[in-house]
Amino acid sequence: MSFDSLGLNKSILQGVRDAGYEKPTDIQEHTIPKILNGQELIGLGQTGSGKTAAFGLPMLHKLTGGEPGLRGLIIVPTRELCVQVAENLRGYAKHAGLHVCTAFGGIDLSIQESAFKRGLDVLVACPGRLIDHLERRNITLEKIEMVVLDEADRMLDMGFMPQIRRVFLRMPDERQNLLFSATLPKEVESLVEDFLPGAERVQIGSRSQSVSTITHRFAAVDALDKPNSLERLLMRESGKVLVFCNKKIGCEKLGNMLKRSGLSADSIHGDKSAEARHMCLGAFSRGKTRFLIATDVAGRGIDVDDVALVVNYDFPLSLEDYIHRSGRTGRAGKEGRAVSFVVPSEKRLYEAVKAHLSGKEVKDQPSAPGRGYGMPKGRAGGNRPGGGRSGGGGRRATADAR
C-alpha cells in the first residue's frame, strides 16, 4: 500500500513525499482511513512505529482549505516531544498553507503569543503552558475540531490528568478525539472512559511490546565500575548513542565526566532551560554530539531515526520505561541495539524485563567484566538461563543476567 491510496489530499501527499516516505507503516495504514472518516480512535503502537504521522496527516488533511484559526490541538507531555511533533507536522503541511505552532514552558509567553498572531491552525502543546495561554486569553479552543492526546501513559505518570480535564472543558462538544500511546496501563483506562467512550481501538503488536528490530543485551557490573564500563563501551562505538540515567543530577555528572574524557557527549534533563535542551537535542540530531545522556522525561522527546545504541546506565524502574527507552533505537524498521547495565540490587527489575522478552531467541553470551555486552558468569546471582526459539515476532534478546 502507498500513501496515495489512503485518501489524503495532494498538498499533504507532497509534504509526505518531501519527507522521503513512500509506504505507510502498519499503524498509519490502519488508522489514517478511520480518522479521515471521522471515527474517534485509540491508537496503540510501538515506539518508533510512526504514530505522529498516523494522527498528524489526517488532521492536516481535514483542516486544509478551512477557515483560518486554531482548529487542531495535540497535547504532549514534554517540551522535546512538543518540538519534534511540530517539526514533523510543519514538513507535512508546508504545501497546504497551514500554520503549526508550539506552546511549552521555559520560553517567554509573549514569544509564543506573537507566533500565534502570525497564523495558527494547529497547536502542539504541553498541558501547563497551554493553560497559561488560555488563562491569558492568548488563544481560544472554541473552534477545535480535532484533539489528540499523545503519549497518554506518560501524561498519567507526570500527573497531567487534572490539567487535561480542564482543557477538555474549554473545547466544543462536537469534536473528534484521538489518543495515541506506545503502552496503555490500566490506570489510563479511566481516562479513555471519560474522554473517548466507544472509541475504536487499533493496536499494532501486543500491549507493552518492544520493537522487533532491537537486539537486547545485559551486562552485570559493579556499581562503582559503571562509569569506566560506560566509557569503554562508548569508545568502541562509531554511531549515535543515547544513554539513560534515572536522576537529573546523575545525568549531568555523567555527561560532564564523559566530556572531560574527551568524548563528544552532552546531557539533557528537566533542570536545563528549554533553549539549552533544544540546542542539545539539535546537536545530537545533526551528529555534532554523538553521545547524549538523558533522563526518562527528556528522552521521550528524542525522535532521531539513526540512534545506533541505547544504553541503560541506570536500569529502568518499570517495564514501560524499558520499552520507551529501547524504542529510541531500531526506528522505522532499522536494526537497533539496547545494552543495560545490571547491578546486584536490580535483579528483580531485570527479571521483569527478561520475562517480557522470553519466548524469543535468547542467547547466552558470557564475557569478562567490562568486555562485551553479555553478563559475566556468576555475576548478580543465580544461574544463567539457557537459550531457545519459539514463534511470534523474531525479537532477539541476550539475557545473561540474573
Contact 176, 145 (CB under 8 A): yes
Instruction: Please tell me the distance from the alpha carbon of residue 42 to that of residue 55, in angstroms, as a whole number.
Output: 10
Q: Where does the pLDDT of residue 296 fall: very low under 50, low under 70, confident under 90, or very high at 90 and above?
A: confident
Using an 8 Å Cβ cutoff, are 49 and 73 in contact?
Answer: no
pLDDT at 172 over 80: yes
What burial letters (b/e) apply to 301-340, b meaning 16+ CB within 10 Å? bbbbeebbbbbbbbbbebbbbbbbbbbbbbbeeeebbbbb
Residue 293 has pLDDT above 90, yes or no: yes
For residues 374 and 351, is the Cβ–Cβ distance under 8 A?
no
Neighbouring CB atoms inside 10 A of 264's CB total 17
pLDDT for residue 352: 86
Model confidence band, residue 290 (pLDDT cutoffs 50, 70, 90) = very high
3-state SS, residue 226: helix
Please tell me which residue, 104 or 327, carries the higher pLDDT value.
Answer: 104
Strand partners, 292: 242, 266
Contact at 8 Å (CB) between 148 and 175? no
Rounded-to-integer distance, Cα 229 and Cα 375, Å: 13
What's the CA gap between 303 and 155, in Å, rounded?
18
**Among candidate residues 252, 281, 284, the one with its CA nearest the CA of residue 78:** 281
Buried b / exposed e along 65-75 (16+ C-beta atoms within 10 A): eeeeebbbbbb
pLDDT band at 187 (very low <50, low <70, confident <90, very high): low
Q: How many other CB atoms are there within 10 angstroms of residue 142's CB atom?
A: 10
Is residue 241 a contact partner of residue 288, using CB atoms and an 8 Å limit? no
What pLDDT band is residue 399 in, cutting at 50, 70 and 90?
A: very low
Question: Can you give the C-alpha Rg of the chain in angstroms?
Answer: 22
> The dihedral of CA 221, 222, 226, 229: what is its sign?
negative
Whether 345 has a pLDDT exceeding 60, the answer reads: yes
Q: Which of 276, 248, 321 is nearest to 47 (CA)?
A: 321
pLDDT band at residue 154 using 50, 70 and 90 as cut-offs:
confident
Q: Is the pLDDT of residue 10 over 50?
A: yes
Distance separating alpha carbons of residues 99 and 122, to the nearest angstrom: 6
Give residue 72's pLDDT.
98
pLDDT band at 121 (very low <50, low <70, confident <90, very high): very high
Is the CB of residue 264 less than 8 Å from the CB of residue 290?
Answer: yes
User: Which residue has better confidence, 331 or 281?
Assistant: 281
Domains of the chain: 3-203 (3.40.50.300), 214-398 (3.40.50.300)
Among 6-15, 47-56, 130-139, 270-279, the least confident range: 270-279
Listed ranges 43-52, 217-226, 385-394; the one with the highest mean pLDDT? 217-226
Per-residue model confidence (pLDDT) at position 211? 59
pLDDT at 379 over 80: no
pLDDT exceeds cutoff 50 at 61? yes
User: Measured between alpha carbons, how far is 319 from 260 in angstroms, rounded to an integer?
Assistant: 33
Task: Identify residue 128 by its one-letter amino acid code.
Answer: G
* Grid cell digits, residue 276: 539549552
Q: What is the pLDDT of residue 241?
A: 95
Mean pLDDT score of the chain: 82
